[in-house]
Amino acid sequence: MRIRNICLVFGVLALSAGAALAGVEIGQSAPNFSLPDTNGQTHQLSQYKGKWVVLEWYQPDCPFVRKHYGSGNTQALQKEFTAKGVVWLSIDSSAPGQEGNYPADKLNQIASTQGAARTALLLDPDGKVGHAYGAKTTPDMYIINPEGKLVYEGAIDSKPTTVVADLKTATNYVKVALDDSMTGKSVSQTVTRPYGCSVKYAQ
């Protein structure tokens, strides 16, 4: 119980920590970027125009991230939507010396152990892309439509805890937003409050 409370407090603090970040607005063009992945391949957001894109801020040591990967929740989402042609890009903005900053081969090892089904894990150690998007927490989720416009930004789901059992009763905002927008419906909640560990930007 004490560990859970510490994590929840940490998650709340993370929300405040991102208050000064630039951020993006729903309905506006998502900022283009170019980042290397853990296999040395460069990805530009612009190369995926015409496709649905999910950006997931990721940090493997965060207990909130571990909740979603340890349970298989995130991998299930990745598998479901990449099978439908969605590009799923996880982004690690942890700065050198900060929690979650690992060599590419270590991150690939973690991904293999977790059974991750993302399109790629991108490295943003200087935090430029994270700051451009205003990413506050891990996870912090963004959905971009084929026109390059942002249609959702915020939490992965409605239960800001590290408790796996809460997944059963949580509303998965990412799934709902993708299901709605990919079938031509309006997204009912375009912005939610992200929760998790603060993104480990350079101090």
Is 25 within the bounds of a domain? Answer: yes
Is 116 within the bounds of a domain? Answer: yes
| CATH number (domain holding residue 79) | 3.40.30.10
Q: How many helices (H) and strands (E) does the chain have?
A: 6, 9
Beta strands, E only, 45-189: 53-57, 87-92, 120-123, 137-138, 141-144, 150-154
pLDDT at 23: 72
Euclidean distance between CA atoms 38 and 139, whole angstroms: 19
Any bridge partners for residue 191, and if so which?
A: 153
Tally of structural domains, the chain: 1
Euclidean distance between CA atoms 198 and 26, whole angstroms: 22
pLDDT at 92: 98
Sign of CA dihedral 146, 148, 149, 154: positive
pLDDT at 22: 53
Is 203 within the bounds of a domain? Answer: no
Residue 155: burial class (beta carbons within 10 Å; 0-12, 13-18, 19+): buried
pLDDT at 203: 77
Print the domain residue range for 123.
2-198
Per-residue pLDDT in tens (0 to 9) along the chain, 203 residues: 433 333 433 443 343 333 334 578 999 999 999 999 999 999 999 999 999 999 999 999 999 999 999 999 999 999 999 999 999 999 999 999 999 999 999 999 999 999 999 999 999 999 999 999 999 999 999 999 999 999 999 999 999 999 999 999 999 999 999 999 999 999 999 999 999 999 999 97
